[in-house]
């Protein structure tokens, strides 16, 4: 009795502290009745992106049902057609031939039935052999946000753009919460996969009290679904699991796999988006197909401190297998870091991160991500820098490109690690360490990296940088993307996002790529091992007043071995 009280108090305290550090973002289902149908008179352009996906106006959140089908990529996403805060949610729909240039169509799925009258929330697409694409999504049936799962198919499967979707009345909703399941925490069905027994499986995110869960459902015909006795996986204290994603990755190479592939040559990935903190984490593990259980590997922390696709603003992500290029592609939503009132004034909120190819690192300890190769077609006007030495306190401009809309790839090197600062083992939280040390506190090996979206006199800048520390038996590398000095505006969330990088120092080099796009700095450390997306709102470092620099603020001299930077053309978003 006493013990259970202690546990309850501990969980409550943990939940409150997690909420206090919740990535600075309001709960996504927070309803602003007075704002959610307020349409802005005009759209503010200054921080709109040039090549990250965003519609002409209004609120967007989670990517939904991405797929490649009959020559087109389809991206659906959560969208408020009436305003720029969350609400009135439909599935907006865009199509593309190359994942970069998009054409908007009419919303594909919108409230029209009793089983989705109060909203069409997130879900996934599965290409069912012999049937074509099927979307499973969460319908909201009442004002209490009771959730059911809905089945939708194209009205005309021969339409190459799959414009209209129907939700057959005779079978919907296909899944309701059922006994023992919390009906207001029961959402975001995954892409389905087929087991060796010929039955389909899919997951639905949920929680039981504070335990995050992914319920498993099975079906023979994709229409009648039965819940398995046990969830595929669950974890104490992690709270509601939103937008679960479950898929195999090959042990060798970068090739992506269809979601139904299983066997000794693969590991599985389970990713969940944690409603309590607005962060996601994933584990790598083994899918025991005979038991329909997923067991995370002992190299993957299963919980709050787990691996993240991205240590910045990246949420509700979803991957799909692109059968046209045999790769797995990951989409994630990047929310704003300004206030709801700002969003109403500017007439838009939310973007999608650049789609990323994802594969297993050869160490098998983590995933690696890289912007899809198609992005490179937007590159123009290349400039480069080679063997540029950076002494302590130096910064050098990367001139000649449109620094507010750019792509930069750089490799830094140094000749010795002797000067690396001592690592304090209590520094387990990378973000805390980054906010403590930042880019301005002089170090030994680092901080060095890029000053992005910088005003000429550095009154504003968003540094993306490494700091190297020396622990007793290894070196610890921190990658930071620090928004603290990003804007002279005060009413903004300016986090010091950071993650540790798993590095082999045989070559004493570190590489970085940053995609800079007006209010986005999306960075990939060490070839995509540790990635961070920041949203920033400079007032001086805008348009052609933005600059890009390389810098070093450590005592060890740093060499910019090779840097290439490009102005980026704008993507077509029509």
Distance CA 225, CA 221 (A): 8
Whether the Cβ atoms of residue 351 and residue 98 lie closer than 8 Å to each other: no
Whether the Cβ atoms of residue 451 and residue 398 lie closer than 8 Å to each other: no
Q: How many CB atoms lie within 10 A of CB 158?
A: 8
How do beta strands 348-349 and 58-69 pair?
Answer: parallel
| Minimum distance from residue 136 beta carbon to ligand DQQ (Å) | 12
Distance CA 530, CA 308 (A): 8
What are the tokens at 189? 């069905």
Distance CA 394, CA 546 (A): 19
Considering the complex, state which of residue 187 and residue 201 has its C-beta at the smaller distance from ligand DQQ: 187
Residue of 391, 302, 297, 369 whose CA lies nearest to 522: 369
Considering the complex, state which of residue 189 and residue 438 has its C-beta at the smaller distance from ligand DQQ: 189
Distance CA 156, CA 125 (A): 16
| Minimum distance from residue 188 beta carbon to ligand DQQ (Å) | 5
Nearest residue by C-beta to ligand DQQ? 121
What are the tokens at 186? 């029961």
Considering the complex, state which of residue 89 and residue 430 has its C-beta at the smaller distance from ligand DQQ: 89
| Minimum distance from residue 91 beta carbon to ligand DQQ (Å) | 10
C-alpha dihedral sign at 244, 248, 250, 251 = positive
Q: What is the CA radius of gyration of the chain?
A: 23
| Minimum distance from residue 479 beta carbon to ligand DQQ (Å) | 25
Considering the complex, state which of residue 51 and residue 215 has its C-beta at the smaller distance from ligand DQQ: 215
Considering the complex, state which of residue 187 and residue 535 has its C-beta at the smaller distance from ligand DQQ: 187
What are the tokens at 549? 């620099």
Residues 6+ positions from 559 with CB-CB distance below 8 Å: 387, 388, 389, 390, 412, 413, 414
Considering the complex, state which of residue 352 and residue 567 has its C-beta at the smaller distance from ligand DQQ: 352
| Minimum distance from residue 280 beta carbon to ligand DQQ (Å) | 10
Distance CA 192, CA 318 (A): 13
Considering the complex, state which of residue 173 and residue 443 has its C-beta at the smaller distance from ligand DQQ: 173
Q: Which of 62, 188, 342, 407 is catalytic?
A: 62
| Minimum distance from residue 113 beta carbon to ligand DQQ (Å) | 17
Considering the complex, state which of residue 89 and residue 135 has its C-beta at the smaller distance from ligand DQQ: 89
Give the C-alpha distances (Å, rounded to integers) separating 402 from 86, 340, 452, 488, 524.
33, 30, 11, 21, 20
Residue of 350, 346, 345, 347 whose CA lies nearest to 332: 350
Question: Which DSSP symbol is given to 345?
Answer: H
Q: How many CB atoms lie within 10 A of CB 560?
A: 22
Is 504 tagged catalytic?
A: no
User: Is residue 406 helix, strand or coil?
Assistant: strand
Give the C-alpha distances (Å, rounded to integers) separating 183 from 138, 246, 257, 450, 505.
11, 22, 33, 47, 50
Q: Which residue has the tokens 């204290």?
A: 237
Residues 6+ positions from 151 with CB-CB distance below 8 Å: 134, 135, 136, 167, 168, 171, 172, 173, 174, 222, 223
| Minimum distance from residue 101 beta carbon to ligand DQQ (Å) | 26
Distance CA 520, CA 163 (A): 31
Number of alpha carbons in the 13 Å side-chain half-sphere of residue 22: 19
Distance CA 191, CA 245 (A): 8
What are the tokens at 83? 């305003």
Considering the complex, state which of residue 121 and residue 414 has its C-beta at the smaller distance from ligand DQQ: 121
| Minimum distance from residue 122 beta carbon to ligand DQQ (Å) | 4
Residue of 145, 269, 272, 270 whose CA lies nearest to 212: 272
Considering the complex, state which of residue 240 and residue 565 has its C-beta at the smaller distance from ligand DQQ: 240
User: Which parts of this chain interact with ligand DQQ (CB under 6 A)?
Assistant: 28, 61-62, 78, 89, 121-122, 138, 187-188, 242-243, 273, 316
Q: How far is CA 59 from the centre of its chain?
A: 17
| Minimum distance from residue 316 beta carbon to ligand DQQ (Å) | 4
| Minimum distance from residue 278 beta carbon to ligand DQQ (Å) | 8
Active site residues: 62
């Amino acid at each position: 009795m006493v013990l259970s009280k202690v546990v309850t108090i501990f969980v409550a305290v943990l939940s409150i502290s997690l909420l206090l550090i919740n990535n600075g973002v309001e709960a996504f289902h927070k309803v602003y009745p007075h704002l959610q149908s307020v349409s802005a008179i005009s759209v503010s352009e200054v921080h709109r992106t040039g090549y990250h996906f965003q519609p002409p106006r209004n609120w967007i959140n989670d990517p939904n049902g991405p797929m490649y089908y009959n020559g087109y990529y389809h991206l659906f996403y959560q969208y408020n057609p009436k305003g720029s805060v969350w609400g009135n949610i439909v599935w907006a729909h865009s199509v593309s031939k190359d994942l970069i240039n998009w054409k908007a169509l009419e919303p594909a799925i919108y409230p029209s039935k009793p089983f989705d009258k109060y909203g069409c929330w997130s879900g996934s697409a599965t290409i069912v052999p012999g049937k074509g694409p099927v979307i499973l999504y969460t319908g909201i049936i009442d004002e209490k946000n009771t959730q059911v799962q809905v089945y939708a198919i194209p009205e005309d499967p021969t339409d190459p753009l799959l414009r209209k979707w129907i939700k057959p009345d005779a079978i919907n909703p296909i899944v309701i919460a059922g006994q023992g399941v919390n009906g207001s925490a029961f959402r975001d069905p995954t892409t389905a996969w087929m087991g060796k027994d010929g039955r389909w499986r899919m997951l639905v995110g949920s929680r039981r009290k504070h335990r995050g869960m992914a319920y498993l459902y099975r079906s023979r015909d994709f229409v009648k679904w039965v819940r398995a006795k046990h969830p595929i996986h669950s974890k104490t204290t992690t709270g509601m699991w939103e937008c679960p994603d479950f898929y195999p990755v090959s042990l060798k190479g970068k090739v992506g796999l269809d979601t139904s592939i299983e066997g000794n040559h693969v590991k599985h990935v389970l990713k969940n988006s944690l409603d309590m903190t607005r962060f996601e984490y994933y584990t790598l593990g083994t899918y025991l197909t005979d038991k329909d259980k997923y067991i995370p590997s002992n190299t993957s922390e299963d919980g709050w401190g787990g691996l993240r696709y991205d240590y910045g603003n990246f949420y509700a992500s979803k991957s799909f297998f692109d059968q046209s290029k045999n790769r797995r592609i990951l989409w994630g939503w990047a929310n704003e870091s300004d206030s709801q009132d700002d969003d109403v004034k500017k007439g838009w909120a939310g973007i999608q991160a650049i789609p990323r190819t994802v594969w297993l690192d050869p160490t098998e300890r983590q995933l690696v991500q890289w912007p899809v190769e198609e992005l490179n077609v937007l590159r123009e006007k290349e400039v480069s820098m080679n063997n540029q030495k950076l002494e302590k306190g130096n910064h050098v401009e990367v001139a000649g490109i449109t620094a507010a809309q750019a792509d930069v790839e750089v490799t830094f090197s140094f000749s010795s690690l002797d000067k690396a600062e001592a690592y304090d083992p209590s520094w387990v939280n990378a973000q805390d360490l980054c906010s403590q040390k930042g880019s301005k506190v002089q170090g030994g090996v680092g901080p060095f990296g890029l000053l992005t979206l910088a005003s000429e006199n550095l009154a504003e800048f968003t540094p993306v940088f490494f700091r190297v520390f020396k622990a007793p038996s290894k070196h610890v590398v921190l990658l930071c993307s620090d928004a603290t000095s990003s804007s002279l505006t005060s009413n903004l969330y300016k986090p010091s996002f950071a993650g540790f990088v798993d590095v082999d120092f045989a070559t004493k080099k570190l590489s970085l790529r940053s995609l800079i796009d007006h209010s986005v700095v999306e960075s990939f450390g060490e070839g995509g091992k540790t990635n961070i997306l920041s949203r920033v709102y400079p007032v001086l470092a805008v348009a052609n007043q933005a600059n890009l620099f390389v810098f070093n603020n450590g005592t060890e001299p740093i060499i910019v071995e090779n840097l290439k930077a490009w102005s980026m053309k704008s993507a077509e978003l029509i």
